[in-house]
Structure 1
Amino acid sequence: MYAAVPDTREVRAALGELRGVSGAPVSLLAAGTAPVAFVVSRVAPDEFDERTLKARFEDLEWLEGVARAHHEVVQTVARHDTVLPLRLATVYQNDDRARRALTAQSRSFTERIALLRGRSEFGVKLYISPTGSTDRTGPAGAAESREGAEGPGRAADASLTPGKAYLRRRRAQHSAQETRYRHAQEAAARVEALAHRFSTHRMRHPAQTGALAGPEENVLNDAYLVPHDRAEEFRTALTGAVEGLDGVRVEVTGPWAPYSFATPSPPPGGETAGEGAAP
């Protein structure tokens, strides 16, 4: 299951030769007179049962491929109509169970799609740049790196001992980092004020860490629901939110299908493993 979407001729035509997870064809699964349908692919039961999925979610290469295929299907459908993305690896054992779930959630899906119609999701992240390369000298080795104790291109005071030169350098780095955090706070306030002018909803996500953030520190990770006719204004305004603030970078991504706003929760009866494929 990829998403819930209005059951229209345009959506059906858009699926065409589209392929999804495991290269499987993508189609719509309808339920009676329900105005919405599931976007689905049929997969081998022994490859997507609960036990197999639990093991496969430890395989990052496999998981990346599935998430990418899921995302491509959702984005393709989103170019033709409002889409309500479902969580990655939402699986039903047969069509009847899927149709019962669709019938049970039809009203909720329809109401949510109406809320999201004419809007897309944009991601906004703020990063603090590192103050410099990792210090490799320490007090004992400071004499080997006199230049830089008071900043790049400036020789250290010859009267300073290696230990004092090292401490001065560390104080300068700490001061620079404090400045970056102040700038990040100001940037976050600017982002919130500017985004409020162009968006209708906001969702706050945890800051990314580790490999996801790279060498920078991610301090803000928000998603905004933006009307299509305000999208370029939103992007332009938010891209300029850090102007004049050294050490802070803003990243604006989108438009995406509204992953962060695709509540309600997964339909009942589905065997779901893993997290949603947010962009």
Structure 2
Amino acid sequence: MIPEPLLYVYAVVASSPALSPLPVPDEPPDPPLGARLTLVEHRGLTAVVEPVDAGEFDEGPLREHLEDLDWVASVARAHHRVVGAVGRRTTTVPMRLATVCRGEPGVRRLLDTGHDPLRASLDRIAGMEEWGVKLYVDDDTDPSGRGDATGPTDGADSAGSAVSSESSGSVRAARSAGRDYLRRRLDDQRTRQYRAARVSDTADRLHALLASRASDAVLHPPQHARLAHAPGRNVLNAAYLVPVEGGQDFLDALPARDVLPDGVRVDVTGPWVPYSFTQNAPEPGTTR
């Protein structure tokens, strides 16, 4: 018996003539995906799918490939291009990266078991788009503006020299230098603590303001510096579900650079298909 081919599932939409002909991504396909899109319809829902090679996407090989960051990045680019093209045509629920089903029967099982949540998601995000907002802080900024050129070793060397020359005046000067250094360190620590509290308050206020301009909001964990591809430490990583007609009002709420604390900046991305508000697929590596 010939096994069913594997089908990579990009997204689910409400069945309608809107996807005829199939949308084509703006950029060329990025192997191993993007060149052979097709549709599977079931119970009023339509999945955008593509046949894929079992040597790469069957459950065992797929789990291994998911450890290869270059492979994952290539699949992610193709996945997002297809989802974006579909999303420009109609309301779209994106599937998680590397959602794979065994043939059309597997896709129909996916649509059947997820029918009600998928329908609810389509209703929820109709006329909506997602905006991403990240807040970064440059932790290398010196809060005192003085740097750390003078340390306790300067005082210690002076003290040693003073003792050897039995000069009490030099000893007092060395002790004074040591006290000044410790005082500066304490002042810097307090300034850094104040700055950290101010940055945290800025993040909280910004999120509350933007959430008030959105239909929904999701706080993601801050991105690790290696993954952020941006300088500074990520202190806010949020997604906002915004009505299409409210996009400009949402963007107008973003603070100007000159009102942010020193060393703090805001990065905005979007609009996107609402990925953060429509998670309805099985975990990657699960073949249905």
Larger Rg: 2
Q: 2:251 aligns with which of 235, 240, 244?
A: 235
Query: 10, 13, 17: which is aligned to 2:18?
Result: 10
Match of 1:184 in 2: 199
**Paired residue secondary structure (2:20):** helix
Aligned ranges for residues 1-279 of structure 1 at < 5 Å? 1-16=9-24, 19=29, 22-23=32-33, 24-31=35-42, 34-132=43-141, 139=151, 167=182, 170-213=185-228, 214-240=230-256, 243-263=259-279, 265-266=280-281, 272-273=284-285
Structure 1 residues without counterparts, runs of 5 or longer: 144-158, 275-279
CA contact 1:201–1:224 (8 Å) conserved in 2? yes
Aligned-partner Cα distance in 1 for 2:234–2:154 = 31
Are the counterparts in 2 of residues 121 and 254 from structure 1 also a CA contact under 8 Å?
yes
- Cα separation, 2, equivalents of 1:258 and 1:142: 58
Code of the aligned partner of 2:16: T
Consecutive unaligned residues in structure 2, runs of 5 or more: 1-8, 156-172
1:178 deviates by 2.3
Superposition misfits of 4+ residues, deviation over 6 angstroms: 135-138, 140-143, 159-162
In structure 2, distance between residues paired with 1:184 and 1:92: 45
* TM-score, reference length from structure 2: 0.76
Q: Identify if the C-alpha distance between structure 1 residues 273 and 137 changes in structure 2 by more than 3 Å, giving closer, same or farther.
A: farther
8 Å CA contact retained: 1:86, 1:266 = yes
The one-letter code matched in structure 1 to 2:74 is: G
Q: Does the Cα contact within 8 Å between 2:125 and 2:274 map onto a contact in 1? A: yes
User: Can you list the C-alpha shifts for 1:54-110, whole angstroms capped at 9, x where unaligned?
Assistant: 211221111111111111111111111111111111111211111122133233312
Aligned residues: 252
Aligned to 1:152: none
Shift of 1:28: 1.8
What secondary structure does 1:208 align onto?
A: coil
Structure 2 Cα separation of the partners of residues 52 and 138 of structure 1 = 57
Root-mean-square deviation (CA, aligned residues, Å) is 2.9
* Alpha-carbon distance between aligned partners in 2 of 1:117 and 1:47, rounded to the nearest angstrom: 34
Give CA deviations for 1:19-39 in whole Å, capped at 9, x if unaligned: 4651432222112xx222111
For residue 186 of structure 1, give the secondary structure of its aligned residue in structure 2. helix
